[in-house]
Each structure stands twice: as structure tokens, then as C-alpha cells.
Structure 1
């Protein structure tokens, strides 16, 4: 199935749509995206390692899940859909803000240019990841993640440290 993303301006107004892969070519077109951060009661973040077969940034560690809403789909509904598709569970999610970024993947040649909406939720069990989406997962405390990001930034997606820095204080909210 061909995926379509919502093209936006910097104020997050929809200005059109585009096939997902095409939106990531030639420096990337600005499009709407989301990142989900799920915490447990101890404040640990659920990280996933992206499947090797992902179209870009495969095998890198990142936040709980991330993707793009489809035209006609709310960003919240898309976040909950992808949480279920990638990790096999759903929880109530709260939007905590958004940020704009651009990141190039030298391996695939694709560029992310996204207005990324960040959602936070809480979960107290083990996920059941879809192996086509998720290679591995772990719960990890924020200070440990920050230390690993400093020592080995190449292990993580480029958007993850940006989002983590802005939204890490929402583990209790």
C-alpha cells in the first residue's frame, strides 16, 4: 500500500499531500509527523530499535514510535494507530508540543523535513513488537539515554535527541 503524507507550512497548515517516499527526496518537503514517548511508572522511556528493513534510519534506536498521519486522519489517531501497529498496544496519549527539524540519512539518501508533534503516554507491560517495524526494544532511564547519546550519537535517529531534549520532563505528566 502506498502511503501519503500531509505537506504543511511552518505553521502546520496543510498545503497538500505527497507520496511518502517522494516527500523525503531532494532535500525533503515539509510534512506533518509525530513522535510518541511512552514512559513507565519509574519514569523510564520505552525505546525501540528500528527494523533493518525500514526505508531509512534502519537499525537505529529511537523513541517509542514515530510516523506520519494520513490525509484525513488526526495526528492523535495516527499516533495511536502506529503505536498498535509497531508495538502491539495502545494507551491514552497527550500532545505536549511540536518542533521543526530536517535530517539527512546518508545511507538511503533520504531527508526528513518534518513538523513533528510529540505525544506522551504511560504503559506498565512488555510490548509485542511487529518484527517488520521493530528490531528490538528496551525501557531505559533518561540519564542513561542521555549518557549513551553523548557517547554514541550514531546509534540513534537524528530526531530523537531533539525531541528528547524538549520533552523529557513529561515522564510524570
Structure 2
């Protein structure tokens, strides 16, 4: 007799323009042509050699399939700390056990529209992770490809107009503004996170 894994129903945290929580929505149906503003995160994983782990999104993803992007993105669930959500998604998508999660851009926000009209609309703090562990093991349901490349090379690629996800493109000049060496970037202040992220532990 075979057993199957239980289906997990995931929710995202909806927010207003000021960053306050205004409820939740099913993750499976939130991305439409009128996607409400919601809480998310982006993560860049670096190694001690100054390389960044770049991924190609799975070919069947609803938003920006097959597009080159930063290491990992995702959504915290109701009541989940953003740093914990970063750790969870890195393990799920890439088999990476993150132990060092650092806030970089606490108040990043973007809105982007695909050719088919589907909208991404997120308050999306950006995190950095230092990782020198075993090789990533991408989950093909999420990630088609993952490669380490020098940060300077990726930064130049984006600066020269290389095709990446819209959120990655908008984040890159802000990250470059922190300095040339990611290991020396200053940490962002948690006080500058959206209110919904600062009080996420209090959400219903």
C-alpha cells in the first residue's frame, strides 16, 4: 500500500501601501492580472570566493518561466519570520542549508507585468547568504539550472542589458550601490522592513 505526501495549502500575506498586513490569500491563486500587493523576499547566495549563485526559473513557472534571476525568491507564510522563510526556501528549492542570513535591502518594492498580463506586485526585502557547503541540488519543479559565477561578472551582465527577471534588474543597481565587494556590504536595518514583516510573528 503506497502513501502520498499531504497537500500543503500555502498562503501569502497581503499588505497595504504602508506595509501593514491586511489579510491573507491563497498563494496558488494570488498571481493574476490584478495581483494584490503582498509580502515576499529575494535572496542572493554568495560563497567566500566572491561568486553568486544564479538560477534559471523552471520552465513551467506561472511567472517569468525560464528566466535567469537571483538565487531564490519566495513568500513568507502568515506568522513566519522573513529570515526563516529564506532558510526554508533555500532548502526546498536548492538543497542549501543556510546558517547566515543577512538583511540587505529592507524596503525594496516592485511591480512588473508579463506579456500575458499576469502581475507581480510585492514588498520584497532582499537578503544575502554566505554559503560554502555542498553543491546545490536544484528542485526541477522550481529551478531549471543553478550556476556559480563571479559577482562582478553577473553585475556587468545585468548592467550591459542581459536578460534577467524584472525584480533582479531593479535590485542590482541598489546592491551595486552598497559597494563592489558583497562581503563588505552593510546590513540593512530591520526597523526599515515593512510593518507586516517586522510584526510577522503577531499575524493570525
Using the size of structure 1 for normalisation, the TM-score is 0.89
8 Å Cα contact 1:48/1:136 also seen in 2: yes
8 Å Cα contact 1:23/1:31 also seen in 2: no
> What corresponds to 1:111 in structure 2?
119
Deviations 1:80-129 (A, max 9, x none): 1001000001222011223111001114x310110001111111242111
How much has 1:151 moved relative to structure 2?
4.4
Q: Which runs of 5+ in 2 are unaligned?
A: 1-7, 185-204
CA distance in structure 2 between the partners assigned to 1:14 and 1:90 by the alignment: 29
> What corresponds to 1:101 in structure 2?
110
8 Å Cα contact 2:158/2:172 also seen in 1: no
CA distance in structure 2 between the partners assigned to 1:116 and 1:60 by the alignment: 18
CA distance in structure 2 between the partners assigned to 1:89 and 1:101 by the alignment: 26
8 Å Cα contact 2:39/2:123 also seen in 1: yes
CA distance in structure 2 between the partners assigned to 1:2 and 1:148 by the alignment: 38
CA distance in structure 1 between the partners assigned to 2:148 and 2:34 by the alignment: 33
- Residue 131 (1) aligns with residue 140 (2): yes
Q: Which runs of 5+ in 1 are unaligned?
A: none
- Residue 140 (1) aligns with residue 140 (2): no
Question: SS in structure 2 opposite 1:98?
Answer: coil
Question: SS in structure 1 opposite 2:174?
Answer: helix
> What corresponds to 1:121 in structure 2?
129
> What corresponds to 1:60 in structure 2?
67
Question: SS in structure 2 opposite 1:136?
Answer: strand
CA 1:90/1:10 → structure 2, altered by over 3 Å: closer, same or farther? farther
* Superposition map of 1:60-99 within 5 A: 60-91=67-98, 92-96=100-104, 97-99=106-108
CA distance in structure 2 between the partners assigned to 1:113 and 1:21 by the alignment: 15
8 Å Cα contact 1:23/1:29 also seen in 2: yes
How much has 1:161 moved relative to structure 2?
1.5
> What corresponds to 1:10 in structure 2?
17
CA 1:135/1:147 → structure 2, altered by over 3 Å: closer, same or farther? same
Q: Pick the structure with more strand per residue.
A: 1
CA distance in structure 2 between the partners assigned to 1:93 and 1:11 by the alignment: 25
Structure number, greater radius of gyration: 2
